[in-house]
Amino acid sequence: MKYLLCLDGSKKARQAVESTLKFVNKGDELYFVSVYPPHPNPNENNEPIDSSTIAKMVIEMFSGVPDLVDPDEEKLAKNEQIINSNHKKVNALEEFHYFNNKNLSNDKCKIHYLLVASNDISGSITDVANKYGINCVVLGSTGTSLEKLLIGSVSSKVLRTSHCSVLISP
């Protein structure tokens, strides 16, 4: 059986994965996925990025300090989006590392780790599930509004649009 285990850095997502690992059988495949926002287009003219911009991006990624020198508000907004994207990627890698240290592949299953850059989280999850022939998508439940009190909006949309079983862990 192929499981798609969705991680977003939340406790509920980690709990969903932890509970799923209890009933995984030898020979099953686990696909860990994390969807993060892509970097914005650096400029509207599609000009190549110069090396100083790349250097600033790397410094911002590892230091978490935004570029405060550039007074252009549009560039500052893009820098914030880049920092947010990088922060979410780092969180995803930390989650992957956490589960990688459990030595699941040695014990039971074949493991795959997928980082997906997209603003459409639920659409990306269902696309990955379809692409890899997933049998069961596993998500944590979250509630951020009154209408989505019991099931979060991403979980709800994946449940409605997925062509396979969906397990939403409370």
Q: What is the domain count for the chain?
A: 1
3-state helix, strand, coil in the chain (%, to 5): 45, 20, 35
Domain with 8, as residue range(s), is 2-37+92-169
- Asked whether residue 46 is assigned to any structural domain, the reply reads no
Burial profile 41-74: b = 16 or more Cβ within 10 angstroms, e = fewer: ebeeeeeeeeeeeeebbeebeeeeeebeeeeeee
pLDDT, tens digit (0-9, with 9 covering 90-100), for 121-136: 889 999 999 999 999 9
In a domain, 86, yes or no: no
In tens, the pLDDT along 142-151 reads 643 334 444 5
| Average pLDDT score over the chain | 77
Inter-residue contact 38 to 119 (CB < 8 Å): yes
Predicted confidence band of residue 111 (pLDDT cuts 50, 70, 90): confident
Give domain status of residue 136, yes or no. yes
* Residue 29 covered by a domain: yes
CA 129 – CA 62 distance, rounded (Å): 32
What pLDDT is stored for residue 27 in this prediction?
Answer: 87
Task: Report the pLDDT averaged over residues 87-100.
Answer: 81
Residue-level pLDDT at 105: 60
Instruction: Return the minimum-mean-pLDDT range out of 56-70, 94-108, 124-138.
Output: 56-70
Is a pLDDT exceeding 60 seen at residue 43?
A: no
Average pLDDT over residues 109-117: 87
The reply to whether 69 falls in a domain is no
Asked, for residue 30, whether it belongs to a domain, the answer is: yes
49 located within any domain? no
Decide if pLDDT at 46 tops 60. Answer: no
User: What residues form DSSP beta bridges with 3?
Assistant: 30, 136
Residue 43's closest CA among 65, 74, 66?
Answer: 74
Burial of 11 (0-12, 13-18, 19+ CB in 10 A): exposed
Residue 31 bridge partners (DSSP): 4, 112
Asked if the structure places residue 52 within a domain, the reply is no
CATH code: domain of residue 23? 3.40.50.620
Report phi then psi at 2, rounded to 5: -110, 125
Task: Decide if 4 contacts 122 (C-beta within 8 A).
Answer: no
pLDDT-based confidence at residue 154 (cuts at 50, 70, 90) = confident
- What's the CA gap between 8 and 11, in Å, rounded? 9
- The answer to whether the beta carbons of residues 138 and 21 sit under 8 Å apart is no
